Amino acid sequence: MFYYTYVLKSKKDGKLYIGFCEDLKKRVSEHNLGLVDATKNRKPLELIYYETCKDKMGAIKREGQFKTGFGHKYLNSRLKIT
């Protein structure tokens, strides 16, 4: 079993959302159906990046890294986001 750290981009406001999950396809669907409080007013959302992790703790750790200043710089350079 794998876990995922993912980045969604709101097509409404252009902002990013970073999270982790076990079932990526299901989780993205939940976001776009408005079932996630943090993003329900920002849909539609597009999956723009994800990484696969071998375990839950790895995915949680990577999510935390993405949410730091360094993580934002990494994602911006990797995804060419301004």
pLDDT in tens, 17-70: 999 999 999 999 999 999 999 999 999 999 999 999 999 999 999 999 999 999
Q: What are the Cα distances from residue 65, in Å, to 41, 56, 59, 62, 74? A: 25, 14, 10, 5, 10
Angle between helices 69-79 and 56-66 (to 10 degrees): 90
Instruction: Return the pLDDT at 79.
Output: 87
The CATH number assigned to the domain with range 3-79 reads 3.40.1440.10
pTM over the 0.85 mark: yes
**If pLDDT is split at 50, 70 and 90, which confidence band does 80 have?**
confident
